Structure 1
Amino acid sequence: MGRTQARHARHLNPPPGLSAHIESFVLYLRSIGRGQKTVSIYREATQWFAAEYLATGGRPPVEDIAPEFTFDAVDDWERVQRKHVQGWCAHLFERGYSDSYVSNQYRALQAFFKWFAEDEEVPNPMLGMKPPKVVDKPVPVLTEDEMSALFATVTGKDFRSRRDMAIMLMLRDTGIRLQELAGLQIDDVSALEREATVTGKGRRTRTVKYSYEAARALDKYLRVRAKQPNAQLSAVWIGLKGAVTPSGIQQIVQRRAAEAGLGTLNPHKFRHYFSHTWLDRGGAEGDLMELNGWNSPMMLRRYGRSAAASRARRGYDRIMGEGQ
C-alpha cells in the first residue's frame, strides 16, 4: 500500500547564505526556457530543503517525528554533502510522503546541484546518487459509463453548459494538458478544420485534432461566447471575471464530476483516457507521442500502462479468433 502524503506546513524561508543562490538558480531556469510550473516546483523544493533541513541541522519542526540524523546547521551550499540529501529524502518518507513525491523533490535538488556545481566550479554532492525508487501505479482510466455521466451534466443551452461541454470534449478528444487548454487563444482554434495549435512544455508548439462532436460543441460555445461581456479577450475560454485559468478549468471539471456523482476527478485523467483509447483502437505509438507532445518513449510507456491488461485481453480475442 502506498503512503499517504502528510499535510505539514512547509517552511520556505532559508537564510541569506542559501537563498541567494536559489534566486540565481531561478534566473538560470527562466533563461533556458523552463516553464513557470517547473520553475515554481524547483524553487520551492530547494527552498524547503534549505530552510527546513539544512538550516535546522536536520531538525525540522515536526513534533511527531524524532530526527535520526542531525548535524551542524549548514549555511553554505558548498558544505552540502550527499548524506544531507539522503537524510532529507529519508525524512520525507518518514513524514508519509509518497515515493513519487519524494522522487520529484529529489530531481528538483538534482537540477539545482548540477547547476550549482557548474556555475561555481565545485563538486556536485549528488553526482552518482540513485533516485528514490518509485513503485509504478497505473492510473485508472475513466469508463464509458463515467464519461456518459459526466457529459450528462452539460446538456443545457446556457453559456456555462456550452463552455463546459466544449472544454471537456477538448480534454477527451485531444488529451492536451490543463495548461495547454487554458492557454488556447481564439486564433489557435479552427472548428472547421478541427485543429488547435497548442503551446506545450518548453514553449514548443504542436497541432492537435479533435472530433466533429468537439468541433460542433466548440462552434456552439464560440457563438454564445460572442455575446458575453468579456468577448473581446483573446483567450478561448472566458468567464464572468475574465479568461479562465488552469485552476478555473480544474474547478469546472471538479464541479461537473461532483454533479455526476463521480467524486474527485483530476482533469489529467482525460489525458490518460485519450492515450488509452488511442492505443486500444490500434493507433500508432509514434503518432500518439506527437499528439501528446512527448519527446521520450518513457512517457508513452507510463501512460500506456493504464488499462494495458484490458487491452491485452481484447487483443487476444482479436488475434486468436475468440469471442466472435
Structure 2
Amino acid sequence: MELFFKYLQYEKRYSPHTLTSYHTDLGQFSQYLEQVYQITEPAEADHTIIRSWILTLVQNNIKPRSINRKIACLRSYYRFLLSQQQISVNPMVRIKAPKAPKKLPAFVPEESFNTLLDSFEFEKSFEGQRDRLILEFLYGTGIRLAELIGIEENDIDMRAKTVRVLGKGNKERVVPINDSLLSCIEEYLQYKKSEFSDNNSEKLLVTNKARPLYPKFVYRVVKKYISLITTSDHNSPHVLRHSFATHLLNKGADLNAIKDLLGHSSLAATQVYTHNSIEQLKSVFEKAHPKA
C-alpha cells in the first residue's frame, strides 16, 4: 500500500485531498477484509468479496458518490497491483459502480453575494481584511480551496492583474484578477506587513499566528459569512467556485473560457453548469414570451 500511495503522489500527482480520501477508503476496505474474511492482504480478495463490501456500504446508507469514490480507489489499487505483477487477474473488471443521482451544483445568488461584499462592514484589521480577501479570491477567480491555500505573494502580478495557481496534477495556470480583488489584495498586504513585520512566510494568506491557512480554517470563514445571506446548507468554499462559473455563464461567457479559468481538463466537467443556466433561460422565457 505504501508503494501505491507513493505512486499516486509522485507519478500520478494526485492532490493531497484525494490521497487522504484514498488512504481512508483503502483502510476501511482492509479492515473489512480482516474482520469478515480474516484476509490480511487485499491482493487476496476476489470480485465476490469486493462486491460484498460494496453491498455493505449500500446497506449502511453510504451515499452513492462516496461509494463510487471508494470503487475508483480500488480500481486504481488493483490496476497498480496488476502492473506490479502482484496479481494475475484484476477483480475490479467485474465490478460495476452504482448510479449516482445527478445533482446540479449549488451556488449563491449573484445579488446576494455582491450585497455581502459591497455592503458588509469588514473590520479594518488584518483579520477582517483577510476574511474579505478569502471571499473575494474564491468568488473572483473560481479557484479551488487547495489552490487558494497554496498561493504565494510572488504568484501575484499586480501590473498584469493575474495570479499563478497550482492546480490538480501540479498543473500550473494563470488566472486574471479584477480591480476589486486587486484593491483587496493591496489593502490586505498592508495590514499583513504591519501585523507581522518580522514574518518570513511566503504564503499570501496566513492565520492570526502567521501560519499558512488550512482547509478547515477557510471552511469556517466562508460558512460564517455565507450564512449571513442564505439559510442553505451549501456554504462551503466550493460553492463560491460554482457561483463563479454559473454567474459567468449566465452573463454569456464562453464555455471553453470558463473551462480554462476553472482548470478543468475536459469540457465535460464544465458542462454541468449549463443546466443551471438553462433554468435561468426558462425563467426568462416564461416571464417574457407572450405564449409562455
TM-score computed with the length of structure 2 as normaliser: 0.89
Q: Secondary structure at the match of 1:126?
A: helix
Q: 2:82 — aligned with what? A: 117
**Aligned partner of 1:243: which letter?**
P
Gaps of 5+ in 1: 1-21, 58-71
- The structure 2 residue matched to 1:84, chosen from 41, 44, 49, is 49
246-255 vs 109-118, which deviates more?
246-255
Pair 1:50 & 2:22 matched: no
Q: Secondary structure at the match of 2:194?
A: coil
Q: Is the 8 A contact 2:33 2:42 kept in 1?
A: no
Higher relative CO (Cα under 8 Å, sequence separation at least 6) belongs to 2
The share of aligned pairs that are identical, in percent, is: 20
CA displacement, residues 85-120 of structure 1 (integer Å, 9 cap, x when unaligned): 222112111111111111111111111111112212
Q: 2:201 — aligned with what? A: 233
Pair 1:40 & 2:10 matched: no
Q: Secondary structure at the match of 1:197?
A: strand
Structure 1 CA distance, aligned partners of 2:121 and 2:202? 24
Instruction: Identify if the C-alpha distance between structure 1 residues 54 and 238 changes in structure 2 by more than 3 Å, giving closer, same or farther.
Output: same
**Aligned partner of 1:77: which letter?**
P
Q: 1:296 — aligned with what? A: 266
**Aligned partner of 2:92: which letter?**
M
TM-score computed with the length of structure 1 as normaliser: 0.80
Q: 1:6 — aligned with what? A: none
Structure 2 CA distance, aligned partners of 1:144 and 1:268? 15
Instruction: Identify if the C-alpha distance between structure 1 residues 297 and 128 changes in structure 2 by more than 3 Å, giving closer, same or farther.
Output: farther
Q: 1:17 — aligned with what? A: none
Instruction: Identify if the C-alpha distance between structure 1 residues 92 and 303 changes in structure 2 by more than 3 Å, giving closer, same or farther.
Output: farther
Q: 1:196 — aligned with what? A: 163
Q: Is the 8 A contact 1:103 1:132 kept in 2?
A: yes
Structure 1 CA distance, aligned partners of 2:60 and 2:249? 38
Instruction: Identify if the C-alpha distance between structure 1 residues 278 and 263 changes in structure 2 by more than 3 Å, giving closer, same or farther.
Output: closer
CA displacement, residues 251-276 of structure 1 (integer Å, 9 cap, x when unaligned): 21122234556465111001110111
Q: What is the Cα deviation at residue 123 of structure 1?
A: 0.6
CA RMSD, 1 decimal:
2.4
Q: Secondary structure at the match of 1:239?
A: coil
Q: What is the Cα deviation at residue 84 of structure 1?
A: 1.7
CA displacement, residues 135-161 of structure 1 (integer Å, 9 cap, x when unaligned): 001133211343145434453322222
Gaps of 5+ in 2: none
Q: Is the 8 A contact 2:108 2:239 kept in 1?
A: yes
Q: 1:24 — aligned with what? A: 3
Q: Secondary structure at the match of 1:56?
A: helix
148-157 vs 290-299, which deviates more?
148-157
Q: 1:278 — aligned with what? A: 248
Residues 61-72 of structure 1 mapped to structure 2, 5 A cutoff: 72=37
Structure 1 CA distance, aligned partners of 2:145 and 2:221? 12
92-101 vs 253-262, which deviates more?
253-262
Q: What is the Cα deviation at residue 185 of structure 1?
A: 0.1
- The structure 2 residue matched to 1:169, chosen from 123, 126, 136, is 136
Q: 1:74 — aligned with what? A: 39
Q: 1:135 — aligned with what? A: 101
Structure 1 CA distance, aligned partners of 2:247 and 2:229? 22
Instruction: Identify if the C-alpha distance between structure 1 residues 185 and 154 changes in structure 2 by more than 3 Å, giving closer, same or farther.
Output: farther
